[in-house]
């Protein structure tokens, strides 16, 4: 369904992706694992057209989408849940969901909008309960639900999620990931970028490891989970894991507090 071939992309003179190839089959979840700065976000941003590809290709159900502008990529059926959620804090939950459907609203497809909203609210009943609440006053877990709901409002066939577990308590992550698994079971194709390999691999069918802009391992999630060298580096069985945890804590302090149910107010 989603096929990324020899993708190259970067910022200014620096190449962040050298040669990234991966595929996500229809109705499967693939997890892209990598440490800080490995190129996970750049991969997702390039697939969405936010960062322009400098080489290689991205195809969605056989159609090349890498030459398209971001809005056309959304129309083709791809939606991104960005790192750090990026909900619109001063807007209500419902207004945030509307932002995710702006393309169909612009084309006056009101019925389509109403159906998507009902679907998202069935998936996350919390978003219905809190429809008029300002997004900035939601807990971290609720904001993540909103970010996913907003992405689903465009009716995607492929959903990309950038570190959905970041800053959330394990129980909240489990809940949200169970919802992602149910979407997959209904046929959605999902690519998750995660530094939290344990969480990502727990629901993924397939996995890819990215290191300094290159895919260095791939296999089924079960195979990657059992790989000892990867376990040491990414599953926290040795020192590398505690380094990752320290970094995560530092970043959490800068804007993504752990989800203890308290409101999270973002500056952005
Ligand atoms: N906006 C930017 N401008 C310049 N360089 C960038 C930008 N964003 C990322 N980079 C660089 O590109 C490389 C890949 O970064 P990327 O954000 O894709 O990594 P990541 O795997 O998502 O890391 P993290 O776990 O920290 O989110 C890094 O060397 C990073 O410094
Ligand atoms: Mg990132």
Count how many domains the chain has: 1
Ligand nearest to the CA of 47: 1
Nearest atom, ligand 1, residue 42 CA = 18
Nearest atom, ligand 1, residue 35 CA = 25
Please check the confidence at residue 260 and state whether its pLDDT lies above 50.
no
**Binning pLDDT at 50, 70 and 90, where does residue 102 land?**
confident
- pLDDT given for residue 205 in this prediction: 97
As a whole number, mean pLDDT of residues 53-73 equals 95
The three-class DSSP label of residue 219 is: strand
Residue 38 beta carbon below 6 angstroms from any ligand 1 atom: yes
Mean of the per-residue pLDDT values for the chain? Answer: 87
Tell me how far the alpha carbon of residue 41 lies from the centroid of ligand 2, in angstroms: 4
Please check the confidence at residue 105 and state whether its pLDDT lies above 80.
no
- pLDDT given for residue 103 in this prediction: 73
Residue 242 forms part of a structural domain: yes
Residue 12 forms part of a structural domain: yes
More confident of the two residues 234 and 60: 60
- pLDDT given for residue 249 in this prediction: 44
- pLDDT given for residue 233 in this prediction: 66
Nearest atom, ligand 1, residue 39 CA = 18
Ligand nearest to the CA of 39: 1
Tell me how far the alpha carbon of residue 104 lies from the centroid of ligand 1, in angstroms: 32
Supply the pTM of this predicted model. Answer: 0.86
Please check the confidence at residue 34 and state whether its pLDDT lies above 90.
yes
Tell me how far the alpha carbon of residue 50 lies from the centroid of ligand 1, in angstroms: 13
- pLDDT given for residue 238 in this prediction: 47
- Which residues lie across from 206 on neighbouring strands? 30, 220
Q: What percent of the chain has pLDDT over 90?
A: 74
The tens digit of pLDDT for each residue in 155-208 reads 999 999 999 999 999 999 999 999 999 999 999 999 999 999 989 999 999 999
Residue 39 beta carbon below 6 angstroms from any ligand 1 atom: yes
Residue 209 forms part of a structural domain: yes
Question: Residue 177 contacts by C-beta under 8 Å, 6 or more apart in sequence?
Answer: 164, 165, 199, 202, 203
Residue 42 beta carbon below 6 angstroms from any ligand 1 atom: yes
* Residue 244, both tokens: 């990752």
Residue 244 forms part of a structural domain: yes
- pLDDT given for residue 237 in this prediction: 54
Tell me how far the alpha carbon of residue 233 lies from the centroid of ligand 2, in angstroms: 17
- pLDDT given for residue 110 in this prediction: 77
**Binning pLDDT at 50, 70 and 90, where does residue 235 land?**
low
Residue 184 beta carbon below 6 angstroms from any ligand 1 atom: no
- CATH number of the domain bearing residue 61: 3.40.50.300
Domain that holds residue 43: 2-85+155-253
Residue 46 forms part of a structural domain: yes
Residue 115 forms part of a structural domain: no
Judging by DSSP bridges, how do beta strands 2-11 and 55-60 pair with one another? antiparallel
Residue 100 forms part of a structural domain: no
Residue 156 beta carbon below 6 angstroms from any ligand 1 atom: no
Residue 111 forms part of a structural domain: no
Nearest atom, ligand 1, residue 11 CA = 4
The alpha carbon dihedral of 108, 101, 79, 149 has a sign of negative
């Amino acid at each position: 369904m989603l096929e990324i071939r020899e993708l190259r992309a970067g910022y200014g003179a620096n190449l962040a992706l050298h040669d990234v190839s991966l595929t996500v089959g229809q109705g499967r979840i693939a997890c892209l694992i990598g440490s800080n700065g490995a190129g996970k976000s750049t991969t997702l941003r390039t697939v969405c057209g936010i960062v322009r590809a400098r080489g290689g290709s991205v195809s969605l159900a056989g159609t090349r989408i890498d030459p398209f502008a971001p809005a056309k990529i959304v129309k083709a059926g791809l939606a991104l849940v960005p790192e750090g959620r990026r909900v619109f804090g001063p807007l209500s939950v419902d207004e945030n969901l509307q932002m995710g459907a702006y393309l169909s609203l612009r084309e006056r497809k009101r019925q389509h909008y109403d159906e998507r909203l009902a679907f998202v609210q069935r998936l996350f009943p919390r978003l219905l309960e809190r429809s008029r609440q300002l997004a900035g006053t939601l807990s971290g877990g609720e904001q993540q639900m909103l970010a996913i709901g907003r992405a689903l409002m465009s009716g995607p066939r492929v959903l990309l999620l950038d570190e959905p577990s970041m800053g959330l308590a394990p129980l909240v992550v489990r809940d949200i990931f169970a919802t992602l698994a149910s979407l997959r079971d209904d046929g959605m194709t999902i690519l998750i970028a995660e530094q939290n390999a344990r969480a990502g691999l727990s629901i993924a069918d397939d996995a890819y490891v990215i290191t300094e802009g290159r895919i260095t391992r791939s296999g089924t999630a079960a195979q990657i989970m059992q790989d000892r060298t990867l376990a040491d580096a990414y599953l926290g069985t040795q020192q590398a894991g505690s380094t990752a945890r320290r970094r995560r804590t530092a970043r959490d302090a800068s804007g993504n507090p752990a989800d203890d149910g308290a409101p999270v107010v973002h500056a952005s």
